[in-house]
Amino acid sequence: MSNEVKVIQPSGRLDVTTAADFRRQVNDIASATSSPKYLLVDLQEITFMDSSGLGALVSALKSIRNSNGEMVICGANDQVQMLFELTSMTKIFKIYPTIDDFNATLS
């Protein structure tokens, strides 16, 4: 993985109890002096996500874009993928099945 890609891998639940911590982590990355071109959010270890988690991802996308970067998502389980589809977030987020699928787009 190149220097232009930063990977974060939240785990467990991404909901009202954890969304603020996730946003803080992304804001720290976005405000760093050498912010990455891509922030890859690997959701493989997320077991549950609700609307607060979805809001945290949207907030993260805005933060990264404000620092001239792009955010991509990979590894979403069926429940999370269904949430993306039901809320039409598949039109907003760049979503890949795996990290390898994303890496293939870089070459």
Residues 78-92 have a mean pLDDT of 95
What order do you get walking across the sheet with 5-8 strand by strand?
5-8, 38-42, 70-74, 94-96
State the pLDDT at residue 32.
Answer: 85
Q: Which residue has the tokens 């959701």?
A: 43
Domains of the chain, CATH where assigned: 5-106 (3.30.750.24)
C-alpha–C-alpha distance, residues 87 and 21, integer Å: 23
Tell me how far CA of residue 35 lies from CA of 48, 69, 79, 93, 103, in angstroms.
Answer: 28, 8, 30, 19, 19
Query: At residue 38, what is the residue type?
Result: Y
Query: pLDDT tens, 16-39?
Result: 999 999 999 999 999 887 888 999
Lowest mean pLDDT among 45-49, 85-89, 103-107: 103-107
State the pLDDT at residue 35.
Answer: 81
- The pTM of the whole model exceeds 0.85: yes
